[in-house]
Amino acid sequence: MDNEEHRSISDAVEGTSQADFRARDWGQLGLAAFIFGSSFLFITLSLRSLNAGTVAFGKAALGAAALAMVPGARCSIRRPDWGRLVLASLLGMAVPTILFTIAQERIPSALAGMLVSSTAIFTAVVASVETRTLPRSTRLVGLLVGFTGIVLISAPNLSALDAEALGVILVLAAVLGHSVATTIYAPLQQTYGSMRVALWLVAISAVLLAPFGFFGLTDSTFELTSIIALLILGVIGTGLVWAVFLGVIGRVGAVRASIAGYIIPIVALILGVLILSERVELVQVVGVVVALAGGYILSKGKASTAPVAEEEEGQPGTRPEILVSLDGSCGTMERVGGTWQNTTR
């Protein structure tokens, strides 16, 4: 690998902005984490009358249908990038969905949530391998502090665990797959924009999950509550959330975007208190503070990074965001001479 190729991979994985998180970054990341975290509630409601395979396929199909309603999102992907697109959908969406479904029958949700929060650590390792560089010391501190917070949040529920080793292995395999996929998402989003990449990723996942979905129909009934929950899970918990989250990944990079893994258990904890009237222990409150502190440390950019001026969407040099046109025109972003050039066709 020559220096130019190495720099290209590093820039893609690190994101288009090396600055500290801004209010917009925290807002989008918080929204994505909230939707991801609350999705567990709607999954539970959906599973009351629907088979797990049907729920997995249904949310992917509904998410793709919602995204396809935006004309610009239906633009094609260039043939050389289809291999990465399919791999990312397989590792980041289809396979984890199946593995989590099997694992949740074998391990408690508290342990599963703690294991999922290790996504940030796995992503950092994968990114280091791909870029052949070690994480900066501040980033390592943020990763460890954040994970410590998640352990504290999960502590009250970990004292009497009865977990099967297979369940733990399946969750960790799913997390590893998602971490690898996250580093693939970044360059795809930077080239095609969030909406287009989200549509194709979710659509491919729906195709891959279709056999499980149709097979599960024989073991499903169709209660109104479950149907409404599945609609919300598909349109918002799959379509919208991935369009938002991919924008964060492309902008701040795979590792820093994985801060969401520290916020999701906090969302689940808060919803448990508000909706299920669950008790919160003092150690969990401390864990929330520690996890947020770790996320804040991880959000810091490079010390030498100067503020980047905001530019209008579509202009040369613009950092790619959603990059979608409502009139159906299609474009890609190419990095030329250190700036992003938008080519519309």
Question: Per-residue pLDDT tens for 179-192?
Answer: 889 888 888 888 88
- Cα–Cα dist 112/173, whole Å: 12
In which band, very low, low, confident or very high, does the pLDDT at 318 lie, cut at 50, 70 and 90?
very low
Q: What is the mean pLDDT of the chain?
A: 76
Domain regions of the chain by residue span: 3-344
- Cα–Cα dist 335/325, whole Å: 20
- Residues above pLDDT 70, as percent of the chain: 72
DSSP 102-153: HHTTTS-HHHHHHHHTTHHHHHHHHHHHHHT-PPPHHHHHHHHHHHHHHHHH
- 210-229 mean pLDDT: 90
CB of 145 closer than 8 Å to CB of 217: no
User: Closest by alpha carbon to 281, among 142, 158, 118?
Assistant: 158
Q: How far is CA 124 from CA 120, 179, 307, in A?
A: 6, 8, 24
pLDDT in tens, 137-180: 777 787 788 778 777 766 766 555 555 677 778 888 888 898 88
- Cα–Cα dist 95/331, whole Å: 30
- 316-343 mean pLDDT: 48
DSSP 322: S
